A and B are shown apart, each in its own frame.
Chain A
Amino acid sequence: GQSLEQPSEVTAVEGAIVQINCTYQTSGFYGLSWYQQHDGGAPTFLSYNALDGLEETGRFSSFLSRSDSYGYLLLQELQMKDSASYFCASPYNFNKFYFGSGTKLNVKP
Protein backbone atom coordinates (compact mmCIF):
# COMPACT_ATOMS: atom_id res chain seq x y z
CA GLY A 1 0.00 0.00 0.00
CA GLN A 2 0.92 3.63 -0.10
CA SER A 3 2.83 5.14 2.78
CA LEU A 4 3.07 8.57 4.33
CA GLU A 5 6.02 9.21 6.58
CA GLN A 6 6.06 11.70 9.44
CA PRO A 7 8.16 12.14 12.60
CA SER A 8 6.86 10.28 15.63
CA GLU A 9 7.20 13.10 18.14
CA VAL A 10 7.90 16.83 18.30
CA THR A 11 8.27 19.06 21.36
CA ALA A 12 7.93 22.85 21.41
CA VAL A 13 7.20 25.60 23.90
CA GLU A 14 4.08 27.67 24.23
CA GLY A 15 4.04 30.63 21.83
CA ALA A 16 6.55 29.07 19.45
CA ILE A 17 6.14 27.88 15.85
CA VAL A 18 6.40 24.20 14.94
CA GLN A 19 6.46 22.43 11.57
CA ILE A 20 5.36 18.82 11.14
CA ASN A 21 6.60 17.25 7.92
CA CYS A 22 5.06 14.51 5.81
CA THR A 23 6.56 12.73 2.83
CA TYR A 24 4.47 10.49 0.60
CA GLN A 25 4.50 8.06 -2.29
CA THR A 26 3.38 9.70 -5.51
CA SER A 27 1.53 6.94 -7.37
CA GLY A 28 -2.20 7.69 -7.16
CA PHE A 29 -1.63 10.76 -5.00
CA TYR A 30 -4.30 13.46 -5.25
CA GLY A 31 -3.67 15.72 -2.32
CA LEU A 32 -2.75 15.91 1.34
CA SER A 33 -5.08 16.26 4.32
CA TRP A 34 -4.18 16.95 7.94
CA TYR A 35 -6.06 15.77 11.02
CA GLN A 36 -5.68 16.50 14.73
CA GLN A 37 -6.42 13.90 17.38
CA HIS A 38 -6.35 14.60 21.11
CA ASP A 39 -5.76 11.66 23.45
CA GLY A 40 -8.97 9.67 23.73
CA GLY A 41 -10.67 11.75 21.06
CA ALA A 42 -11.66 11.41 17.43
CA PRO A 43 -9.57 12.83 14.60
CA THR A 44 -10.76 16.22 13.38
CA PHE A 45 -10.09 17.61 9.92
CA LEU A 46 -7.71 20.58 9.77
CA SER A 47 -6.85 21.25 6.13
CA TYR A 48 -6.39 19.89 2.63
CA ASN A 49 -3.92 20.81 -0.11
CA ALA A 50 -4.86 19.73 -3.62
CA LEU A 51 -2.39 22.08 -5.27
CA ASP A 52 1.13 23.21 -4.48
CA GLY A 53 1.45 26.09 -2.09
CA LEU A 54 0.35 27.30 1.28
CA GLU A 55 -3.16 27.14 2.73
CA GLU A 56 -3.75 29.24 5.82
CA THR A 57 -6.47 28.74 8.42
CA GLY A 58 -5.93 30.91 11.45
CA ARG A 59 -2.89 29.76 13.42
CA PHE A 60 -2.55 26.66 11.27
CA SER A 61 -1.11 26.54 7.75
CA SER A 62 -0.47 23.61 5.46
CA PHE A 63 1.92 23.39 2.54
CA LEU A 64 2.34 21.01 -0.37
CA SER A 65 5.14 20.54 -2.89
CA ARG A 66 4.32 17.85 -5.43
CA SER A 67 7.75 18.09 -7.04
CA ASP A 68 9.31 17.13 -3.70
CA SER A 69 6.55 14.66 -2.64
CA TYR A 70 6.40 16.58 0.59
CA GLY A 71 4.08 18.60 2.71
CA TYR A 72 3.97 20.12 6.15
CA LEU A 73 1.65 21.48 8.78
CA LEU A 74 2.75 24.72 10.42
CA LEU A 75 1.36 25.66 13.82
CA GLN A 76 1.98 29.20 15.03
CA GLU A 77 1.57 30.81 18.45
CA LEU A 78 1.45 27.38 20.04
CA GLN A 79 -0.99 26.88 22.87
CA MET A 80 -1.13 24.10 25.45
CA LYS A 81 -4.35 22.87 23.86
CA ASP A 82 -2.43 22.15 20.65
CA SER A 83 -0.81 19.16 22.39
CA ALA A 84 -2.20 16.29 20.32
CA SER A 85 -1.30 13.87 17.57
CA TYR A 86 -1.30 15.16 14.02
CA PHE A 87 -1.83 12.90 11.03
CA CYS A 88 -1.22 13.53 7.38
CA ALA A 89 -3.50 11.57 5.09
CA SER A 90 -4.26 11.13 1.43
CA PRO A 91 -7.18 9.80 -0.61
CA TYR A 92 -5.10 7.78 -3.06
CA ASN A 93 -7.02 7.51 -6.33
CA PHE A 94 -9.93 8.90 -4.33
CA ASN A 95 -10.81 5.36 -3.30
CA LYS A 96 -8.23 4.29 -0.74
CA PHE A 97 -7.40 6.34 2.28
CA TYR A 98 -3.99 6.24 3.87
CA PHE A 99 -2.89 7.94 7.04
CA GLY A 100 0.59 8.55 8.34
CA SER A 101 1.50 7.01 11.68
CA GLY A 102 1.03 10.36 13.39
CA THR A 103 3.22 12.97 15.05
CA LYS A 104 2.72 13.52 18.77
CA LEU A 105 3.15 17.21 19.54
CA ASN A 106 4.08 18.08 23.10
CA VAL A 107 3.65 21.76 23.97
CA LYS A 108 5.49 22.80 27.11
CA PRO A 109 4.90 25.97 29.14
Chain B
Amino acid sequence: EAGVTQSPTHLIKTRGQQATLRCSPISGHTSVYWYQQALGLGLQFLLWYDEGEERNRGNFPPRFSGRQFPNYSSELNVNALELEDSALYLCASSIARQGSSYEQYFGPGTRLTVT
Protein backbone atom coordinates (compact mmCIF):
# COMPACT_ATOMS: atom_id res chain seq x y z
CA GLU B 1 0.00 0.00 0.00
CA ALA B 2 1.40 3.37 -1.01
CA GLY B 3 1.94 5.89 1.74
CA VAL B 4 1.22 9.60 1.76
CA THR B 5 3.06 11.32 -1.07
CA GLN B 6 4.00 14.97 -1.39
CA SER B 7 5.40 17.09 -4.20
CA PRO B 8 7.69 18.77 -4.80
CA THR B 9 10.38 17.58 -2.40
CA HIS B 10 12.06 20.96 -2.40
CA LEU B 11 10.77 24.36 -3.47
CA ILE B 12 12.70 27.60 -3.64
CA LYS B 13 10.80 30.85 -3.99
CA THR B 14 11.51 34.52 -3.53
CA ARG B 15 9.72 36.79 -1.10
CA GLY B 16 6.32 37.91 -2.39
CA GLN B 17 5.81 34.93 -4.69
CA GLN B 18 3.24 32.18 -4.32
CA ALA B 19 3.94 28.54 -3.53
CA THR B 20 1.76 25.50 -4.24
CA LEU B 21 2.37 22.24 -2.44
CA ARG B 22 0.59 18.99 -3.22
CA CYS B 23 -0.36 15.91 -1.21
CA SER B 24 -1.90 12.54 -2.01
CA PRO B 25 -3.31 10.64 0.98
CA ILE B 26 -3.26 6.93 1.59
CA SER B 27 -5.96 5.17 -0.41
CA GLY B 28 -9.15 5.08 1.64
CA HIS B 29 -8.22 8.05 3.81
CA THR B 30 -10.57 11.00 3.52
CA SER B 31 -8.96 13.43 5.93
CA VAL B 32 -5.88 15.45 5.05
CA TYR B 33 -3.95 17.63 7.49
CA TRP B 34 -1.25 20.20 6.79
CA TYR B 35 1.47 21.17 9.24
CA GLN B 36 4.38 23.58 9.25
CA GLN B 37 7.61 22.49 10.91
CA ALA B 38 10.27 25.16 11.20
CA LEU B 39 13.83 23.89 11.53
CA GLY B 40 14.36 22.10 14.84
CA LEU B 41 10.86 22.88 16.09
CA GLY B 42 7.58 21.09 16.59
CA LEU B 43 4.67 20.78 14.23
CA GLN B 44 2.22 23.65 13.91
CA PHE B 45 -1.27 22.73 12.70
CA LEU B 46 -2.23 24.61 9.54
CA LEU B 47 -5.33 23.13 7.92
CA TRP B 48 -7.63 20.12 8.00
CA TYR B 49 -9.69 18.93 5.06
CA ASP B 50 -12.22 16.16 4.97
CA GLU B 51 -14.64 15.10 2.26
CA GLY B 52 -13.62 18.11 0.18
CA GLU B 53 -14.29 20.72 2.85
CA GLU B 54 -12.06 22.74 5.14
CA ARG B 55 -12.97 21.56 8.64
CA ASN B 56 -10.64 23.72 10.65
CA ARG B 57 -7.50 25.79 10.51
CA GLY B 58 -4.73 26.72 12.89
CA ASN B 59 -3.48 30.16 13.86
CA PHE B 60 -2.08 31.14 10.49
CA PRO B 61 -2.92 34.17 8.32
CA PRO B 62 -5.37 33.86 5.41
CA ARG B 63 -2.54 33.82 2.87
CA PHE B 64 -2.20 30.15 3.84
CA SER B 65 -5.04 28.39 2.07
CA GLY B 66 -5.77 25.17 0.28
CA ARG B 67 -8.31 22.79 -1.03
CA GLN B 68 -9.16 19.12 -1.25
CA PHE B 69 -10.10 17.51 -4.52
CA PRO B 70 -12.77 14.82 -5.15
CA ASN B 71 -10.04 12.13 -5.10
CA TYR B 72 -9.07 13.41 -1.60
CA SER B 73 -5.71 14.77 -2.71
CA SER B 74 -4.98 18.23 -1.44
CA GLU B 75 -3.15 21.40 -2.30
CA LEU B 76 -1.66 24.00 0.05
CA ASN B 77 -1.17 27.50 -1.31
CA VAL B 78 0.94 30.13 0.37
CA ASN B 79 0.59 33.62 -1.06
CA ALA B 80 2.82 36.65 -0.61
CA LEU B 81 5.67 34.51 0.71
CA GLU B 82 7.69 35.84 3.62
CA LEU B 83 11.15 34.75 4.74
CA GLU B 84 9.70 33.17 7.90
CA ASP B 85 7.58 30.84 5.77
CA SER B 86 10.74 28.82 5.13
CA ALA B 87 10.01 25.45 6.73
CA LEU B 88 9.18 21.82 6.13
CA TYR B 89 5.52 21.43 5.22
CA LEU B 90 4.11 18.08 6.20
CA CYS B 91 0.91 16.53 4.99
CA ALA B 92 -0.81 13.73 6.88
CA SER B 93 -3.91 11.64 6.32
CA SER B 94 -6.25 9.58 8.43
CA ILE B 95 -9.19 7.29 7.87
CA ALA B 96 -12.17 9.28 9.05
CA ARG B 97 -13.26 12.74 10.05
CA GLN B 98 -13.53 11.93 13.72
CA GLY B 99 -12.47 9.12 15.90
CA SER B 100 -9.32 8.25 13.98
CA SER B 101 -7.68 11.66 13.70
CA TYR B 102 -5.41 10.75 16.61
CA GLU B 103 -3.56 8.36 14.26
CA GLN B 104 -2.16 10.29 11.34
CA TYR B 105 0.13 9.05 8.61
CA PHE B 106 2.66 11.57 7.37
CA GLY B 107 4.25 12.17 4.02
CA PRO B 108 7.94 13.01 3.61
CA GLY B 109 7.26 16.74 3.42
CA THR B 110 8.08 19.62 1.11
CA ARG B 111 11.02 21.78 2.11
CA LEU B 112 10.10 25.37 1.21
CA THR B 113 12.89 27.93 1.14
CA VAL B 114 12.03 31.60 0.71
CA THR B 115 14.89 33.90 -0.27
Chain A residues engaging chain B, CB cutoff 8 angstroms: 1, 30-31, 33, 41-45, 48, 50, 87, 89-91, 94-102
Given contacts A48-B103, A96-B45, A98-B45, contact A42 B90 (CB under 8 A): yes
Known: A42-B107, A96-B58. 5 other contacts (CB 8 A): A1-B58, A42-B4, A43-B106, A97-B33, A102-B41
Contact A94 B45 (CB under 8 A): no
Contact A101 B104 (CB under 8 A): no
Contact B45 A97 (CB under 8 A): yes
Q: What's the tally of chain B residues with a CB closer than 8 Å to chain A? A: 26
Contact A99 B58 (CB under 8 A): no
Contact A94 B43 (CB under 8 A): no
- Complex: A90 Cα to B28 Cα, angstroms: 23
- Complex: A100 Cα to B44 Cα, angstroms: 9
Interface string of B38-69 (1 = CB under 8 A from A): 00011111001000000110110000000000
Contact B103 A94 (CB under 8 A): no
Given contacts A42-B90, A42-B109, A45-B104, contact A99 B43 (CB under 8 A): yes
Contact B59 A94 (CB under 8 A): no
Of B42, B56, B105, the residue contacting A99 (CB under 8 A) is: B42
Q: Enumerate chain A residues within 8 angstroms of B105, measured Cβ to Cβ.
A: 45
Most buried by B among A43, A89, A101, A102: A43
- Complex: A102 Cα to B43 Cα, angstroms: 9
Given contacts A43-B90, A45-B103, A96-B56, contact A102 B45 (CB under 8 A): no
Q: How far is the CB of B21 from chain A (nearest CB, A)?
A: 14
